[in-house]
Structure 1
Amino acid sequence: MGSEKITDVSYISDFESKYQKGLEMSYAIDEKQHHCEFNMKMGSVAILIFHKEIEQFLLVRQFRPAIFTATVANLPENIGKEFDKIEWSNYSPEVGYTMELCAGLIDKEGLTPRQIASEEIAEECGYRVDPDNLIHINTFIVGAHQSGNCQYVYYTEVDESMKISEGGGNVHDGEVITKVFLSKDEACSIARPGPEEHADVKGPPGVLFALQWWFFVLDPTKKGLIANPPTGYYWQPNNMKVMTDVKFSSDFDKKKYCYNPKRMKFTMNGITRTWDLALCPSTTSCILADMAKNQLVLLQKFRPPVLVGKSRVLKENIGKQLEDIDLSTADPKMAYTLELVVNRVPEYDDPRKFVRIAVKQLGYDLPESDFKFQAKCVPGIGQSGDTQFIYFADISKARICEKEEDEDIEELRVSFADLPALYRQHLVGPPTTYYAIGYALDQLLH
């Protein structure tokens, strides 16, 4: 892997892509006009695979152009440079490789997400799994701030009797995918890092959640916490807004939203490929808990793109063009998510400093030393290439300070007793929300 080279790298900004389409979304609330970015993308599936015979988890390793581009472009020597001034061939493609769940886009007309997941397992990993044998773990919201897409997450077990090939992905698309096996101990160090350690995953947060789910839900000593929720708690958004007159336009000022799409062309392993990107800044987030009251603190956020993303996967809208979907009849509850507090992080700055700022804006002032580094992952493996740093903090120790008001954000406290029920609810928010719930139940409850 170390001798691999990437050559003939170039980028263009003027292109049409089937994988993304930047739009300005306009809508009205109480006759007042609002605008936000909407990046139309495809939904996806992801599968956690456990090999029963060798008792190891099967993940995949592949080159992700967005991560390579974001990593190299944000190195100190390249900050502020135009892309055509960067010597891309001087950098090892290794910085662009990930370790992620077997996954794929929902881009095959007429197939259900479960059927697409089955095909991806065969294509990438070389095992035949009947779609009906996939356990549906959960459905996440990904890209809540701009696309609101859904990702269906499944679990399955395989053995060598199910092997049909060596896998490796679709060679016609230039995919170079290798299988990665993780022992239980290696996977547990990601799901449950030690007191002075953190999980470092060169892959999306779904890896964190899926491995945590396996050890937490399937561990017979803990399974009852999820299998038999002690309460009937079901989250419903509070103080909902109703959007009307929803419209989309492709003629908008991209700088307004920092939307900067590029098509990358490169040669690697003798194959020339193109890849469509829309890079985003890295972020830091925090799992907040009030340990004095045994509560997890989440943020209810109003996310117009999520209403669109959820509407697109409704049965009556499958296969429809965006302009043919009647969003005026959409349930306003679909525009809401539960998320962690989050803040952008400039490259090569201290994420802890910026997560402290974000928490302080909620009205809780804690010293930086009170933020425990829990995990690091890469949410935007496909197109945005961003990194996320995840911390934990106990706000029962915080000094109450002035809160920065935001009409689209509302604090929600959920008792630890109600978390198992919330963990089972689909489409609540991004994978980091479910990871936070699992973290509280697995590591804070006792």
Structure 2
Amino acid sequence: MTGRPEAVRNALSGKGIGGILRDIGYVSFGKYGQYLVTVVTLPLAARVLGAAGLGLLAVGMSAYFVGTLLVDLGITAFLAARVHEADHDRAMINDLRASYAAIRIAILGGIGLLGVIGFSLNVPAHAGMILLGLFAGGFWSLSEDWLLIGRGRFGASIAYQSVGRAAYLLLLVVLLPRHPTAAMALGCLLGSSVLTVGLTWLDGFRTFGPLVAPHRIRSVLRTGAPVLASRLLTSSYGQGAAAVYSGILSATSLGVFSASDRLVRALQSLLDPIGFALLPRMARRGAEAGFWRRSMRALSAAVAAAAVVTSGTWLLAPVIIPLIFGGDFANAVSLLRVEVLVLPATTVTSYITTAVLPVQQDTAGVLIGAVLGAGVGAAAVLLALRSHSVWTLVGGVVAAEFSVAGWYLARMWQLSRRAARTREAVL
């Protein structure tokens, strides 16, 4: 081994490009496994529920995404970037675990209470799906997966998630045909989350020991406040768009949009692993001079991959939609061809907000980008109030995503120049 070049030794030990590709593969497999399940669940839900039922499910899934943010505060990447500190300060990480757990449990309890009140008042169907989605997503965010990501244990993360996905598929195949409602589909997702959440908590106890008394609640909330605000704003034009538009567009229109949107978000999630896989490495090298150069190389590769996926999806859209959803969703083909154009932009946003800004602890940059995107999304909502057209929704999503990606590129350049000036001043 002593005669091998350093680069080869690093690759074999998981420190070089071999380790990076391995971790990207792990996370990609985890995301891919999720959408292998979706290959079965989407056609089943579309055919059992129809366009209107799928529209209600889209509202619930949008609320599910918002629920995950409300409970985890959108800061899992920021906290995961600190997990490596456990190597020399285990007490700090245990305090952080306990504080984060206390916050999440309290928020989920509030969402649950709101749901009980809402259902007791017999709220309308779309409002009921929002309440159920918020709780289901919030429960998922009790997961301790951020500890696994922070330690680079992507294999364990995939294994625990796969158990939940298999349970979701089983529950959906058995129960949805017998109880064909959007609420049942979302209930199956909630039930399957119990397994994944439980397994990550057991892993956390084995690795770090029992929880201690929390003393960092205020610190976590200070970190989470701007990030949560930014992520909620982002969800208004992203994965939470269906919930925002549920009072403007018909359930059938939302169902057609969902056919396009679910595919685009699935493809987006297949590109996200690049940032997640690099996060632990970037966290350890955030202060190094080569940080920004490596960041740009990885970002360029991610955008190139997104361009390839976008081109393929645009060409195959007339085949993909009927194959997965059936002939009733033919109108979704043109929507898909427009919405899929956002993938290069969402890849830029995902990478920078996952692997770059959290390492720099730049919560202000994240918030500014979200405000910009929400402003564009709000303009689209105002237009939709007049047009009542699903095309306004799609156009708003595309415009918002590209605006935000442009901001994050500018922010990354700004931070890199600031770091260069600091190094020059030191020298």
Normalising to structure 2: TM-score of the pair? Answer: 0.30
Q: Which has the higher strand share?
A: 1
Q: Which has the higher helix share?
A: 2
Normalising to structure 1: TM-score of the pair? Answer: 0.29
